[in-house]
């Protein structure tokens, strides 16, 4: 396949496909035909648990695969933990783009692209915060961040790294999500992170599909280790 | 697949409607599906696009819809739906690379994308067989591209539609392993869409939340490219 160069640092940051055993889930209607996020917000306000894939099979699956995903327990149980983990990552991305815009390193089309990506991340923060509240839980606190913003090129490369990691993070959690409404929303955000990553990879002359035909997921421990350098206090 | 089920389908749709369907998915009431005289085109589409059986089951009314529901709506059907789209995408890039005079940059990413789509086809065929199912046959297709600009425009629509199709179908997947694979594929489709959009000076991520489409909407959108 031409044009597919895999940067070594990306490979080390991403882990291999999570191999959880097949488990049967209740058949549910697809959330297609509307935006996933509106489905999510409607569904989460409902006490009826239809559309949840939690069952005894899934419980045992969760136990089996908990090893590398223990890192997520600090954010809460089940879907709330996953949503708060995602929220933490979105907070970091949102902060990053705000700092980049404020740095004055970009203008013109590049600045426009960065602004639009920043707006997406802010929308993700708002949706995830609202969803966690609808589930009766407390949204994760906003972390304090600091990013090395030295020159335009290194900032774009950092943006690409962050977005590729974000896409891999969502992919890593998707099979663990219990509620179909939450899953639909996560997949919808996941695709947007993938789009951001591909655009930034292209701008920094990296392959837009660095993993080839099948994107690789990242587990929570790997992702949290990778963002640690950008957290302060 | 139950492509013997009685059904009707709208066989022709303007390209602008595809783009509209991809950009603004409606929330259709199944009962509101329009009935049109069964045209020759519709018959052709039915014969060629095995996965259209689902659309047909919905369009044919409550009786057939119930019959369809008894088939279980399982993972094999969803995988065959995805396979139909991947066949279509693979054929699209293969034809374009063969027939259209593309610049070197476009050729390079189109070859990469073709390779990805072919890998998706192979993986889906293998998975369907491993589940004891029968992979649908590749539809006969025809694409209206004459030059690079027309190719890129259609490529953008197809990839955006692919993302919406996978994201729309994924929550109904029963197996976690298959869900992980579908997620892995949809991210790659999203990356294709972004790359093509950049080449067209279009926003790579036009929405903060990628829209979803139902199988019916997707099959309707791709119907114009399917022929006998």
Whether residue B5 has pLDDT greater than 90: no
The pLDDT of residue B176: 93
Using one digit for the tens of pLDDT, what is the confidence trace for A171-194? 999 999 999 999 999 999 999 999
Whether residue A86 has pLDDT greater than 90: yes
Written as six digits, the tokens of A33 are 């035909």
pLDDT, averaged across chain A:
79
ipTM score assigned to the predicted complex:
0.77
Distance from CA of A74 to the nearest CA of B (A): 24
Kindly state whether A82 is in contact with chain B, defined as any CB-CB distance less than 8 angstroms.
no
- How many CB atoms sit inside 10 A of residue A222's CB? 19
Whether residue B55 has pLDDT greater than 80: no
Residue B226: phi, psi to the nearest 5?
-100, 130
d(CA A169, CA A68): 13
Using one digit for the tens of pLDDT, what is the confidence trace for B188-217? 999 999 999 999 999 999 999 999 999 989
Report the length, in residues, of chain A: 233
DSSP-derived 3-state class of residue A101: helix
d(CA B75, CA B62): 22
d(CA A155, CA A162): 10
Residues of B in contact with A17 (CB under 8 A): 180, 184
For residue B15, the number of C-alpha atoms closer than 13 Å in the C-beta half-sphere is: 12
The runs of H, that is alpha helices, within B60-103 are 62-70, 75-99
Query: What is the pTM for the complete model shown?
Result: 0.75
Task: Write down the number of H helices and E strands in chain B.
Answer: 9, 2
Residues of A in contact with B207 (CB under 8 A): 192
Burial (CB count <10 Å: 0-12, 13-18, 19+), residue A214: buried
Q: What is the DSSP letter of B30?
A: G
Distance from CA of B225 to the nearest CA of A (A): 22
Lowest model confidence (mean pLDDT) among A9-23, A85-99, A185-199, B14-28: A9-23
The pLDDT of residue A38: 56
Residues of A in contact with B72 (CB under 8 A): 27
Question: Chain B neighbours among A 120-159 (CB < 8 Å)?
Answer: 120, 123-124, 127
Of the candidates B123, B163, B213, the beta carbon closest to that of A191 is on: B163
The more confident residue out of A12 and A48 is: A48
CB B120 within 8 A of CB B91: no
How confident is residue A28, by pLDDT bands cut at 50, 70 and 90? very low
Q: Is the dihedral of CA A96, A99, A103, A104 positive or negative?
A: positive
Report the length, in residues, of chain B: 228
Whether residue B26 has pLDDT greater than 70: no
Lowest model confidence (mean pLDDT) among A50-59, A81-90, B60-69, B75-84: B60-69
Kindly state whether A116 is in contact with chain B, defined as any CB-CB distance less than 8 angstroms.
yes
Q: What is the DSSP letter of A55?
A: S
Task: Write down the number of H helices and E strands in chain A.
Answer: 8, 0
The pLDDT of residue B16: 35
Distance from CA of B82 to the nearest CA of A (A): 14
- Packing angle, helices B40-48 and B52-59, rounded to 10: 130
- For tokens 């908990």, the residue is A66
Whether residue A4 has pLDDT greater than 70: no
Written as six digits, the tokens of A199 are 């655009």
The pLDDT of residue B227: 81
**What chain A residue is nearest to B201 in terms of C-alpha separation?**
A109
CB A75 within 8 A of CB A88: yes
The more confident residue out of B219 and A67 is: B219
Written as six digits, the tokens of A178 are 């219990």
CB A16 within 8 A of CB A161: no
Return the bridge partners of B226, or none: B141
d(CA A165, CA B20): 31
**Closest to A134 measured CA to CA, from A39, A27, A28:** A39
């Amino acid at each position: 396949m031409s044009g597919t160069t895999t940067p070594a640092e990306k490979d080390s940051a991403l882990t291999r496909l999570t191999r959880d055993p097949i488990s049967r889930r209740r058949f549910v209607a697809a959330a297609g035909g509307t935006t996933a996020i509106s489905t999510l917000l409607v569904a989460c306000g409902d006490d009826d648990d239809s559309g949840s894939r939690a069952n005894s099979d899934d419980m045992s699956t969760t136990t089996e695969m908990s090893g590398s995903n223990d890192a997520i327990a600090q954010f809460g149980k089940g879907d709330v933990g996953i949503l708060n983990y995602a929220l933490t990552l979105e907070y970091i991305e949102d902060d990053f783009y705000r700092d980049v815009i404020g740095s004055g390193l970009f203008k013109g089309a590049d600045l426009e692209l960065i602004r639009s990506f920043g707006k997406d991340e802010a929308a993700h923060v708002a949706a995830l915060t609202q969803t966690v509240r609808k589930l009766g839980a407390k949204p994760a606190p906003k972390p304090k961040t600091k990013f090395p913003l030295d020159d335009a090129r290194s900032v774009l490369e950092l943006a690409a790294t962050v977005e590729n990691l974000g896409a891999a993070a969502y992919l890593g959690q998707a099979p663990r999500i219990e509620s179909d409404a939450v899953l639909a929303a996560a997949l919808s955000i996941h695709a947007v992170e993938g789009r951001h990553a591909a655009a930034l990879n292209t701008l920094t002359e990296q392959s837009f599909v660095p993993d080839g035909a099948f994107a690789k997921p990242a587990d929570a421990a790997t992702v949290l280790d990778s963002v640690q350098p950008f957290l302060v206090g | 697949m139950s492509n013997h089920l009685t059904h009707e389908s709208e066989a022709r749709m303007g390209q602008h409607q595809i783009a509209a369907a991809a950009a603004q998915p409606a929330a259709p009431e199944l009962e509101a599906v329009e009935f049109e005289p069964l045209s020759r085109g519709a018959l052709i589409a039915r014969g060629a696009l095995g996965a259209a059986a689902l659309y047909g089951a919905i369009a044919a009314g409550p009786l057939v819809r119930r019959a369809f529901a008894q088939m279980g709506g399982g993972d094999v059907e969803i995988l065959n739906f995805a396979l139909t789209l991947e066949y279509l995408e693979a054929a699209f890039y293969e034809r374009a690379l063969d027939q259209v005079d593309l610049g070197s940059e476009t050729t390079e990413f189109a070859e990469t994308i073709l390779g990805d789509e072919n890998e998706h086809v192979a993986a889906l065929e293998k998975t369907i067989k491993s589940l004891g199912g029968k992979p649908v046959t590749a539809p006969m297709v025809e694409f209206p591209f004459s030059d690079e600009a027309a190719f890129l425009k259609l490529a953008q629509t197809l990839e955006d539609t692919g993302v919406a199709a996978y994201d729309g179908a994924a929550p109904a997947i029963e197996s976690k392993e298959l869900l992980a694979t579908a997620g892995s594929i949809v991210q790659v489709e999203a990356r294709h869409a972004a790359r093509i959009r950049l080449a067209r000076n279009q926003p790579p991520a036009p929405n903060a939340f990628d829209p979803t489409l139902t199988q019916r909407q997707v099959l309707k959108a791709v119907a114009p490219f399917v022929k006998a």
